[in-house]
Structure 1
Amino acid sequence: MRHQSPSSWAVICVCIAAVVHFALGFSIEFSVDEAHYALYAQHLAWSYFDHPPLVGWIQWPLVTLTSSEGLIRLIPELLWILSCYLVYQVTLEVHHLIQGRNAGYLTSALPSPNTCGLMAVLAVIAAPIPHVLAIGLLPDTLLIPLSLGLMWMALRWLIKDHFTLADWVLTGVLLGLAGLSKYTAAFTAIALLFVFISAPRKVWISQAGFWFAALIALAFITPVLYWNYVNDWISFKYQIAHGAGSSWLWRRLAAYIGVQILVYGPLLVLGAFLFLKNCLQTTKLALLSLLGFFVIPFAIFTGLSGGGGLPHWTSPAWFCLAPFAGIGLAKAWTAQQHRLIRFLFIFQLALCFIGFGFVLSGGINSDLVKSNPIADLYGWKLAGEKAAQLSKANKASGIAVQNWTLGSRAAWYARPTPVFVLDDRQDQFDLWFGKLPKGANILLVNWSGMSFSPPIRSKNGFEHCAPLESLEIKRLGQSLSTFDFSLCSNWQD
C-alpha cells in the first residue's frame, strides 16, 4: 500500500466493491421493496401511501426506457459511490475541525486526514448491509448521501461560524430533498438544528438566510403535504402506526442491538469507541453536536425496536458515524494496534462474500433451515409473465395475491395487468388498482414461500377456485419455490 496514496486506495476499494455490486445487480431479480418503488416510477404521483415520492421520481427516466433490473440498479450504485465520497470528505472536515480547535495539542497525535478518510471508507465497505442498499434502491439509499451532505454543511458552520447565502440555499435544498426521500429525515433535521444550537452565539436565528433555507425546504416537501391533505393524511397515519410496531418487548430491543452490530460491523463500533476514548479531549461540545447525526436517529429507532423495527432504518446514522470511526481506527493503526482491526476487517469482508455467494447460489433449501430468504429473489419474472398470459387467456379481471409483499413483484413483472391484494389492510395497491369488483373472476397467484389457502367462503371471498397450472423455480439444480395459479370466480368482497 506504500506505492499508492490513501485517497487512491479509497478509490480502488470503492471501484472493486462497485464491480461486485454490478455483477449481483445484473444476476438477480427485484426484491419486494425494489419492485414496489419501481412501480412508483411507473405510477408517478405527488406522493405515495407509505413513503414520499423521490424514490419513484429519481427512477422515472430509466423505468420509462428499460425494464432491465441491472440498468435500473445503476441509480443506487451511483448513490452508494456518492455516499462513500461524502464519508471521505466529511472525515477530512472533522479532522480539520479538530486541528483548528486544538492548535497542536491533539493533531500532532492524529494521522493524516487522508489516512483517516481511507479508514472511514474501508469501515463502510466492510459493513454488510450497506451493500444491499447499494444494489437495491430504497428511501434509505437516498437519505444516506443527503444526511452526509447536511452533516458536511454543519461542519462548515462549525469551522467558519457563518454561512453565505449560497450555503443557506444549499442547506435548504438538501433538507427539502431529504424530506422528499423519507419521513425519518426529520431526525437528521433535528441533528442539524442541534449543531446550530450548540454554537456559543445564536446569530443564525436572526439571519435571513436561515429562514430562507427553511422556506426552501418547506417548498420542496409541499407536494407531500398536499397529497396527504387530499388523501386524509393516510401516509402519516400509516407511518405512525408502522413506527410504533406491536407490543413492546425487551428481547426485541436486545435482538435489534445485536443485529445492528452484526449487519453494520463491529469495526464501526470499535472505531467510534476509539475516537471517543482518544480524540474527544477538547472541543467536546462541537464534536458531540456532530455525533447527533448518529445518536439521535439511532436512539429513536432503537427505542422503538422493542415494538419491532428493520435493520436498514438506521443506515444513514451509521454512515454519519463512519467519519468518527475512521479517525479512531486510523489513530489506533498508526499506534501499531493492527491485529484486532485487521481481524475485524477480514471477518466482515468474509461475511459479505458469504452473503454474496448465498445470493448467487439461491441460498440453502434444507429441513434444518426453516425458510430460505434468498428464494424470494428468483422466479418472479417467470411467474409474472405466466400470470399475465393466464389472466388474458381466461378473460380474468386481473391478478390477485393475498399479501402486499407478493403484489409488488406480481405487478411489476405482469404489468400492465392490474393486481389486487385480498386483505383488509389499506395500501398503495388500493390507490393504484382499486378494490376488486364484486362478482369478478380473477387469477389467484400463490407462492410457496408465503402460502395462503384460497379465500373460498359463502359470504365473503370467492364462490369457487379451480387450479390451472404450477411453476417450479430452480436455481443451480435445487428447487427454490413453487407458484400455483388458480382461476377464482364470483368475488363476494
Structure 2
Amino acid sequence: MALGFSIEFSVDEAHYALYAQHLAWSYFDHPPLVGWIQWPLVSLTSSEGVIRFIPELLWIISCYLTYQVTIELHRLIQGRNAGYLTSALPSANLCGLLAVLIITAAPMLHVLAIGLLPDTLLAPLSLGLMLMALRWLRKDQFSIGDWIVTGILLGLAGLSKYTAAFTAFAFLFVFLSSPRKSWFTKVGFWLAALTALLLISPVLYWNWVNDWISFKYQLAHGGGGEWLWRRLAAYLGIQILVFGPLFILGCVIFIKDCMHGAKLSLVTLLGFFFIPFVIFTSLAGGGGLPHWTSPAWFCLAPFAGIGLAKAWAMQHRHWIRILFFIQIAMCCIGFAYVLSGGINTASIKSNPIADLYGWKIAGQKAAELSKATKANGIAVQNWTLGSRAAWYASPTPVFVLDQRQDQFDLWFGEIPIGANILLISWSGMTYPLPIGNKSAFEACQPLGSLEIERFGRILSKFDFSLCSNWRGPGTSE
C-alpha cells in the first residue's frame, strides 16, 4: 500500500485505467473487466494509491482463497487416503498458513498486488474455480446454487483474460476424470454454461462488430517471434527466480509423499497449474512475459503448502527457513530498488525503474503546451509511451505514430491531415523526429525539455516539439 502511493502508474496500469475512462463492451487487447472494476474509483479520483486499493484487495482475497483451497485439498487427501496417510499429514491450519506464506514470499506476486493487471483478476477467480472443483470431488454432486456460482466464476474469468480458457479446460478436466458423467445431463450444468455465456456475451458482441480484432491480435501476440531454445531456458529460470524455489520444494515433497490413494483426483487438480504453465512455457521460446503464469502459481500454492507443512512437521525446517528469508529479502530489495529510482548508471536506457517516474508532470506539461500552441493533440512514437501520456494528459487526445493497429486508434482515431501535433519524446525510448520527404510531418520545432530527478540523480528526460502539417502515415515505427 505504501509503494502504491509512492510511484506513478506503469505502462499497463495506465492502459487499463484508460479502459475505465473509456467504458466499452470490450477492448482491442483484453476483455473489459479490468476496466469495469476500476470505473467507480477512476470516476472519483486520479490518485494512483487509491486506485491501487483494487489490486491490493484482490491480492488479499487471493491469499484467503489459497488458504481455503488448501483446507479443502487437505480434507480430500484425508478422505481418499484414510488408513495409511492420515496420521502423517500435518494439520490443515498449518498447511493453509504455509501456502499463504509461499504466496507472501513470491516476489512476482507482489507486482500483481500493486498493479491491476488481468492476471490480478484471474488469480482469485481461478482459485474460486479450483475450490468448486474440490467441492465436486468431495461430494460428487452439485446443487443448483453450486452450478450457478460455477457459471458466474467462469463468466467473470472470461471477462478478465482470454487465457482463462486454460483454467476452464483444467476445471472441465476434473469433471471428465469422474467415472460418473451424469453431470452432463444435469439442468444445473447447462444453467452454468448459459450463465457463463451470458457474462462473456459483451466480449463476443464487441468482437463481432469489430471484425474479431481481439482474437486476431491475441493469436499473433501469443505466437511471439522466432522460437529459440535459449528463450525457453531463460523463461524457466526467470519463473523459478521471480516466484521462488519454495514453490518447487513444497511441490516436490507433495508429489513424493502425498499422492497415493487420491492420485487421479490430485493429477486433475494439478491441471490448474500445469495446463496454463505448460502452454505459456512452450510459447515462451517465441517470447513471453513472466507474470502470465501468475494465476497458475496461485493454484499451485495449496499443494506446495501441504508439502512444506509435511516437511516442517517432520523437523526438516532448515531449507524452508533459508529459502523463506532469501525470498523475503528479494522482495524487500525489490521494493527498495523501485523506491530509490533504480540503479545509478551512465545510460538512462539501462535503468528499468526510470519508466515509473516523471510521466505525471510530463503529461501535465504536454497538456498545457498542447493547449497553448492550439495543437490538435499529443503524439508519441510507441504505444507503450501512449498510455501514460493519455492518462496524465487527459482529456487531450493522444496519437501513436506507428503502423500497428491498437486501442489508441479506436479511442482517438487518426490524426487529421494538416494537423499540428505536440510530440513527446522520452530518453528511455528514442526515435528520430518524424519529418522528412517520406515521413509524416513537414517540420518539428523544439519547445523545451524536462529532466526527471530522484535523490539528486537524473532518471530520464522528456523533450517536447510542435510538429506541423501532418501529411499521413510515414516510416516512423
**Shorter-normalised TM-score: what interval?**
over 0.9
Q: How does 1:63-212 map to 2 (within 5 A)?
A: 63-212=42-191
What SS does the aligned partner of 1:417 have? coil
Contact 1:245 1:308 in 2 (8 A): yes
Aligned counterpart for 2:260 among listed residues 274, 281, 301: 281
- Cα deviation, 1:216-237, whole Å, max 9, x if unaligned, reads 1000000000000000000000
Is 1:326 matched with 2:305?
yes
Aligned counterpart for 2:20 among listed residues 34, 41, 50: 41
What is residue 280 of structure 2 aligned with on the other side?
301
- Cα deviation, 1:234-291, whole Å, max 9, x if unaligned, reads 0000000000000100000000000000000010111111100111122100000000
Letter in 1 for 2:37: I
Q: How does 1:303-318 map to 2 (within 5 A)?
A: 303-318=282-297
- TM-superposed CA distance for 1:206, in Å, is 1.1
Give the stretch that moved more between structures: 456-465 or 178-187.
Answer: 456-465
Q: In 2, distance between residues paired with 1:129 and 1:447?
A: 27
Q: In 1, distance between residues paired with 2:347 and 2:84?
A: 58
Q: In 2, distance between residues paired with 1:302 and 1:135?
A: 25
What SS does the aligned partner of 1:25 have? coil
Letter in 1 for 2:206: W
Letter in 2 for 1:491: W
Aligned counterpart for 1:378 among listed residues 357, 372, 377: 357
- Cα deviation, 1:470-492, whole Å, max 9, x if unaligned, reads 00000111110000000100111
- TM-superposed CA distance for 1:402, in Å, is 0.2
What is residue 341 of structure 1 aligned with on the other side?
320
Contact 1:265 1:348 in 2 (8 A): yes
Q: In 2, distance between residues paired with 1:338 and 1:272?
A: 15
Q: In 1, distance between residues paired with 2:346 and 2:369?
A: 33
What is residue 350 of structure 1 aligned with on the other side?
329
Q: In 2, distance between residues paired with 1:213 and 1:226?
A: 20
Is 1:362 matched with 2:341?
yes
Contact 1:86 1:148 in 2 (8 A): yes
What SS does the aligned partner of 1:104 have? coil
- TM-superposed CA distance for 1:369, in Å, is 8.7
- TM-superposed CA distance for 1:457, in Å, is 2.0
What is residue 467 of structure 1 aligned with on the other side?
446
What SS does the aligned partner of 1:486 have? strand
What SS does the aligned partner of 1:468 have? strand
Letter in 1 for 2:96: G
Aligned counterpart for 2:434 among listed residues 455, 458, 461: 455
- Cα deviation, 1:63-102, whole Å, max 9, x if unaligned, reads 0000000000000000000000000000000000001111
Q: In 1, distance between residues paired with 2:215 and 2:51?
A: 29
What is residue 398 of structure 1 aligned with on the other side?
377
Q: In 2, distance between residues paired with 1:121 and 1:147?
A: 16
Letter in 1 for 2:59: W
- TM-superposed CA distance for 1:105, in Å, is 1.5
Aligned counterpart for 2:402 among listed residues 423, 426, 432: 423
- TM-superposed CA distance for 1:365, in Å, is 2.6
Q: In 1, distance between residues paired with 2:229 and 2:82?
A: 46
Q: In 1, distance between residues paired with 2:254 and 2:346?
A: 45
Contact 2:348 2:460 in 1 (8 A): no
Aligned counterpart for 1:236 among listed residues 215, 221, 235: 215
Give the stretch that moved more between structures: 374-383 or 200-209.
Answer: 200-209
Letter in 2 for 1:167: D
Letter in 1 for 2:421: I
Contact 1:460 1:491 in 2 (8 A): no
Q: In 1, distance between residues paired with 2:152 and 2:317?
A: 42
Aligned counterpart for 2:30 among listed residues 28, 44, 51: 51
Alignment RMSD (CA, Å): 0.9
- TM-superposed CA distance for 1:368, in Å, is 8.1
Q: In 1, distance between residues paired with 2:91 and 2:138?
A: 19
Q: In 2, distance between residues paired with 1:355 and 1:141?
A: 19
Letter in 1 for 2:274: V
What SS does the aligned partner of 1:227 have? helix
Is 1:434 matched with 2:413?
yes
Contact 2:151 2:191 in 1 (8 A): yes
What is residue 9 of structure 1 aligned with on the other side?
none
Letter in 2 for 1:345: F
What is residue 412 of structure 1 aligned with on the other side?
391
Q: In 1, distance between residues paired with 2:205 and 2:345?
A: 50
What SS does the aligned partner of 2:441 have? coil
What is residue 457 of structure 2 aligned with on the other side?
478
Distance change (3 Å), C-alpha of 1:33 and 1:155: same
Contact 2:348 2:427 in 1 (8 A): no
Contact 1:361 1:475 in 2 (8 A): yes
Letter in 1 for 2:192: A
Q: In 2, distance between residues paired with 1:478 and 1:111?
A: 52
What is residue 475 of structure 2 aligned with on the other side?
none
Moved segments of 4+, more than 4 Å: none
